[in-house]
Amino acid sequence: MIKPKFGGTLEQVQLSLANRDIQLIVETIGSENAPLWLLLPALSTVSSRSEWKDFIDVAKDVRRIVSFDWPGFGDSDRPPITYDADVLCQALLAILQYISIKNDQSITIIAAGHSASIALGMAAKYSDQWEKLVLVAPTWRGPLPTMTGLNPQKLSWIRKLISLPLIGPVLYRLNTSKTILKLMLRRHVWVDSSLLSPEKVLDQQRLSRRTGARFASAAFVSGGLDPAGDRSWWLQQAEKLSCPMEIVLADEAPPRSRKEMELLADHANHKINIKGRLGLHQEFGSTLARRLLSF
C-alpha cells in the first residue's frame, strides 16, 4: 500500500508512455488558496518525492504544494521502457495538465538536480504559464558523462546491459550495494556524514532496488536522461524562458557540476548560495524553504 511521504493527499495520474499505460503518484498538501509550488524531485538512483519532506514542513502552512514521483522512480510505475528526457517531459506535462484542471493560478516550479533540465526543456512552450522557475543545484549531465566526458550515446551499452534479463538484475544489485550507495551519497549528495547511518543507507538501498527500478536508474547514471550533449543547450533554454528564473547554488557541489551551475546562474534573475551538494534540497530543505519564502 502506497503511503503519503509528507502527510499530504495521494492521487494517481495516468498517461501513456512507450505504448504503456503508466501511473504516476502525486501528493498534495497545503491551503487551496495559497500560492502553488510544484516540487520536482532530483533524478537519481534513489529519487523520491520524500526528498522534499523537510522543505515542505516549513512551507506547507503558507503554500499549496504538489510533488510526485517520476516514471521509473519512487512509488510511480517502473516499466521496462527506454527512459529518456522526452519521456520525462511527457510525464511533467501530464502533471501540469492535472494541476491546471484543479487550479486556475500560475505555478512556481522548483526543480532539484537533474530535473532542472527537464523543466528547462519545456521553457519555450510552457513557461509563459509559470510564475517562476527555481532550479536547485541544477545539472544537465548524468554522473558517468560528467566523470568521463563521453557523449551519452557512447554509454548506451550500459543501459542495454542493465536491461538484459538475468545478468542485468545481478549487475544492478552489485551497483546498489550499501558500500557503493554510501560512497555516492557521501561524495556527491550530502555534506553531513551523520546522515549516512546504517538505517538511512538501508532505506536508500530499498528504494533503489524496487522492482523495475534498474531501467530508469541506469538511464540516469549513463546519461540516457540528458537532454543534450553540451552545456549550450540549457543556456539557450534559459534564454527562452518567459518567466523569472532563480538559481540555488550548492556551495559544496562537485567541481564540474558547480561550474555548470555557475554558468547557468549568470542567466538567472536571482541566485542564492546554500551550503550543500547535489542533495541540498533534502539535507538543507528547511533552510532552502525559508530562503525562498523570504525572497
| Residues 17-48 pLDDT 10s | 988 999 999 999 998 889 999 999 999 999 99
State the chain's mean pLDDT as an integer.
94
With b meaning 16 or more CB within 10 Å and e meaning fewer, what string describes 15-54? bebeeeebebbbbbbbeeeebbbbbbbbbbbbbbbbbbbb
| Residues 161-181 pLDDT 10s | 999 999 999 999 999 999 999
* Per-residue confidence (pLDDT) for residue 106, from 0 to 100: 86
Tell me the residue type at 250: A
Mean pLDDT within 279-293 = 96
Q: Which fold has domain 9-141+227-294?
A: Rossmann fold (3.40.50)
| Residues 75-89 pLDDT 10s | 999 999 999 999 999
Q: Cα(276)–Cα(192) distance, rounded to whole angstroms?
A: 9
Q: Evaluate if residue 230 carries a pLDDT over 90.
A: no
